[in-house]
Structure 1
Amino acid sequence: MAIATLLILFLVLLVVGVPVALAMGLTSIVVAFLLDIPLSMLAQRMVAGINSFPLLAIPFFILAGEIMNTGGISQKLIKLSDSVVGRFRGGLGMVNVSSSMLFGGISGSALADASSSGSLMIPMMKKKGYDADYSVAVTVTSSTQGIVIPPSHNMIIYALAAGGGISISSLFLAGIIPGILLGLGLMVTAYLIAVKRNYPSEKPSSIKEIGKAIRLSFPGLMTGVIIIGGIMTGIFTVTESAAIAVVYAFLLSFVFNRDVSIRLIVPVLKRTFKTLALVLFLIATSSGFAWLLALLRVPTLISENLLGLTNSPILITLILIFILIFLGLLLDVAPIILITTPILLPIATSIGMDPVHYGIMMMICMAIGLVTPPVGGALFIGSAIAKIPMESVVKALLPFYISMIIVLLLVAFVPQITLLIPNFFD
């Protein structure tokens, strides 16, 4: 009765449009009453979910990304990418992907990349003669690199949802090669479509212009180097690296860049606090929800039934991928991570999959969900910027879906791609 209430009530609340965090909280309260569990105990579990030192990295990374975006770093990265790959057929599409690869390593957020670079790249591409559907498709799929390339907020959430036994540093390192593969796959796809549609190429940049672009963008690129380099060398932890990134971003954007007014820090802080409040509320309610799932042995029941269907690691991996992508069509990234990790991670480890490997596979599944209707957060942002309906973009997205799925399968079934760098630094 309690299990049925937990699952059915949660789904009903989602269907009627209740926000995910609130739906989990309300469902947890109802089930706690059914099980005669004191609400004070449920509240303690929720507070414990956000009472975590590694969790401090999330607000710092969010703030650093907001500051860098306000400081005009994304524009400099676009100019750098344009000087290097803009000369190729459909070069702006490749510029879009490569600049997102660079910005993803700074902001750690797919939605931040979609909104910042999209507001620049989509109008620019349309003005240069690119179709609106292609412009949006390239922009939104390239923005998903921010969820895979470190630092990624969602990797931190995954590590916490897994019980804190997974190193966030290992997750960051594990995302480097898959993130690059994802970017290269999207660049190849963008180029092939550009050739087929006969899109223009930009004038080749001179060595002097490339050097200038590198010089202007170098301070912004150093943000990612500081974060990842500090973690890899053991100079500081993930949380400390996030705090250092904020200080560096502030100095770069508001002290050394005289074109940006210090007054802009106020809206930056407002946006950061708003995002942080949503994230923390979601983590708190999901912690109580996950505790009730564990109390009712839901993860064990699902694991036993799924493993009872087949003993094949390949089939189980494909089932896990299908579940994650399907949920990605309906829910945002963080809720999926928080809800499914306690359930699906034990299944993955039971077939010999490393938790770090599973985490990166999950991130790529979530990336596909970000650009897939009906939810598709990045897709929604891109369509809004281009002022075209989401439905008209889906057809243009099909080749990019194929590219992303190929990378996903490579990562899923060739674990060395993910684990090479983490194992090297162990």
Structure 2
Amino acid sequence: MTFSMVVLFGAFFTFLILGTSISAGLALAGIFTLSLQIDFGSLSSTIGEQIFGGLDHFGFLALPFFVLAGAIMNQCGIAHRLIDFAMLIGRRIPGSLWQTNVLANMLFGCLSGSGIAAATAIGNIIAPIARENKYDMPMTTAVNAASAPTGMLIPPTGAFIVYSLITGGSASIVALFLAGYFPGIVMGLAVMVVAYVYARRRGYASDKSPFRLAEVAGVLWRAIPSLGLVVLVIGGIVGGAFTATEGAGVAVLYSLVLAICYRKLTLEKLIRVGMETIYASGVILFLIACSGLMSWSMTFASIPDQIGEILTSISSNKYVILLMINVALLIVGTFMDMSPAMLIFTPILFPVVTDLGVDPVHFGVIIVYNLCMGIVTPPVGTVLFISASITGEKITRVIPPLLPIFTVQFIGLLVVTYLPAFSLALPRLFGVM
């Protein structure tokens, strides 16, 4: 088992260093490990069976549907409407433009299902206004980057669908969706708190103008149809009107109708949306197929059991092991994107934590929260690089204001980790656990 584990991880990281794609690295590492366990005659058939079998689940159909819905919403001018709504909520708080950025990322991120899409759409609108109002641009970049992944915790989000299917349905998608609300809000509030303190120190004034009824009604009228997507999809899934996969189809239909009503979806945009969906879905599903082969080879070689024994030999305390897992995932997140990291480490860590009595839904929230922070940290912090490219700031100037935000977000991670009721309150309230 020890030799199999060395071969598996040694081969995978060697391929990464050589510049091989993550998907190919996953598949080849799994093949090398399997070659130690079964004869060559059975190897090729086993490989094909596991790669195609890894996608043989109806629930995976929800992924391309949610990707398509997010792409449509991204093309039909939703960002401007949500920014107006966020500005209405946050304009009385010092650093109102930063507060608006965070709220808009939380709202748009959960609709698009992508931290990258949120950082791009919201950042491109906020950055010019921030520069015009003489806001500190490194801090503006940090706020946009750190708040963009919040929508990947707030449902509907593909990350929880992938986690649920990796764990074989041990954690229901409905329960995971509901469990993501409070942690997602906490991650966003962490950014707002630091931005508030920073704005007070810099003497940034808030907007003291009175709220006019006509203005408020107009902003709400423009924003409610977009926010209705979340209410419809989550309400329908929790209420039992449709499954998560059917809910994804409803999200596509709703987004399409909304885009047509807004007269924003031209033929050219529709083709672009289709191409984006095909590309993104293809990448995700191919990753899942290759990771399925690697996961099966790990299970076949009893590698998760051995890792569990290693962790429990260090400490038998559940809370110490959870802290070690958090630190490990934060480190992993600095050099690996969310999807491959989740696909690789969930099969390894899931048996360990469940044997310790950690609820599968609770662990799903922990792992997604960790990896949401990871996609902002260099050297592979995609969201950070996108935010910096929008504002034109150097990464070295963005890191200092980013560090206090990460500190507060890490405190939020500890709350999520050690207070399970914080995540599980809503699933239990609605009776889905």
Q: Same fold (TM over 0.5)?
A: yes
Shift of 1:203: 5.6
Q: Which one is further off, 184-193 or 337-346?
A: 184-193
Shift of 1:200: 4.2
Shift of 1:124: 2.1
8 Å Cα contact 2:163-2:342 kept in structure 1: yes
Structure 2 CA distance, aligned partners of 1:297 and 1:228? 38
Structure 1 CA distance, aligned partners of 2:396 and 2:243? 43
Q: Which one is further off, 107-116 or 54-63?
A: 107-116
Give the equivalent residue in structure 2 for 1:228.
Answer: 234
Give the equivalent residue in structure 2 for 1:115.
Answer: 120
User: For residues 350 and 29 of structure 1, do their structure 2 counterparts lie closer, same or farther at Cα, with a shift above 3 Å needed?
Assistant: closer
Give the equivalent residue in structure 1 for 2:197.
Answer: 192
The residue identity in structure 1 corresponding to 2:145 is V
Shift of 1:260: 4.2
SS at match of 1:50: coil
Shift of 1:316: 0.9
Q: TM-score w.r.t. structure 2 length?
A: 0.95
Give the equivalent residue in structure 2 for 1:18.
Answer: 20
Give the equivalent residue in structure 2 for 1:5.
Answer: 7
8 Å Cα contact 1:141-1:400 kept in structure 2: yes
Deviations 1:305-349 (A, max 9, x none): 111111112211101111111111111101111111111111111
The residue identity in structure 2 corresponding to 1:149 is I
Alignment of 1:389-408 (within 5 A): 389-408=394-413
Structure 1 CA distance, aligned partners of 2:43 and 2:205? 65
The residue identity in structure 2 corresponding to 1:239 is T
The aligned length equals 425
Structure 2 CA distance, aligned partners of 1:94 and 1:322? 29
1:261 aligns with 2:263: no
Structure 2 CA distance, aligned partners of 1:380 and 1:19? 20
8 Å Cα contact 1:32-1:39 kept in structure 2: no
Residue of structure 1 aligned with 2:29, choices 27, 30, 33: 27
Shift of 1:138: 0.6
Give the equivalent residue in structure 1 for 2:363.
Answer: 358
Give the equivalent residue in structure 2 for 1:369.
Answer: 374
Deviations 1:331-372 (A, max 9, x none): 110111111111111111122210100110111101110111
Deviations 1:246-291 (A, max 9, x none): 00100101x2112442431110111111111110110010000111
Shift of 1:88: 2.4
8 Å Cα contact 2:7-2:33 kept in structure 1: yes
Shift of 1:226: 0.6
Q: TM-score w.r.t. structure 1 length?
A: 0.96
Shift of 1:117: 1.1
The residue identity in structure 1 corresponding to 2:253 is V
Structure 2 CA distance, aligned partners of 1:260 and 1:163? 38
Structure 1 CA distance, aligned partners of 2:73 and 2:199? 31
Give the equivalent residue in structure 2 for 1:162.
Answer: 167
Give the equivalent residue in structure 2 for 1:423.
Answer: 428
Residue of structure 2 aligned with 1:382, choices 387, 392, 416: 387
Structure 2 CA distance, aligned partners of 1:47 and 1:383? 39
Structure 1 CA distance, aligned partners of 2:380 and 2:189? 26
Alignment of 1:326-341 (within 5 A): 326-341=331-346
Alignment of 1:176-215 (within 5 A): 176-202=181-207, 204=209, 205-215=211-221
Of all paired residues, the percent bearing the same amino acid is: 36
User: For residues 110 and 259 of structure 1, do their structure 2 counterparts lie closer, same or farther at Cα, with a shift above 3 Å needed?
Assistant: closer
Deviations 1:391-417 (A, max 9, x none): 221111011101211111111111111
The residue identity in structure 2 corresponding to 1:125 is A
The residue identity in structure 1 corresponding to 2:238 is M
8 Å Cα contact 2:4-2:303 kept in structure 1: no
Give the equivalent residue in structure 2 for 1:319.
Answer: 324
Which sections of structure 1, spanning at least 5 residues, go unmatched? none
Give the equivalent residue in structure 2 for 1:296.
Answer: 301
The residue identity in structure 1 corresponding to 2:14 is V
SS at match of 1:27: helix
Give the equivalent residue in structure 1 for 2:254.
Answer: 248
8 Å Cα contact 1:129-1:199 kept in structure 2: no
Structure 2 CA distance, aligned partners of 1:406 and 1:90? 22
The residue identity in structure 2 corresponding to 1:217 is A
8 Å Cα contact 2:30-2:298 kept in structure 1: no
Structure 2 CA distance, aligned partners of 1:362 and 1:416? 16
The residue identity in structure 1 corresponding to 2:345 is T
Q: Which one is further off, 376-385 or 33-42?
A: 33-42
Structure 2 CA distance, aligned partners of 1:41 and 1:313? 36
The residue identity in structure 2 corresponding to 1:11 is F
8 Å Cα contact 1:126-1:135 kept in structure 2: no
Shift of 1:181: 2.1
1:105 aligns with 2:99: no
Q: Which one is further off, 399-408 or 13-22?
A: 13-22
Give the equivalent residue in structure 2 for 1:130.
Answer: 135
Deviations 1:2-59 (A, max 9, x none): 4322211111111222221121122233334444342221111111111211111111
8 Å Cα contact 1:83-1:209 kept in structure 2: no
Shift of 1:196: 1.2
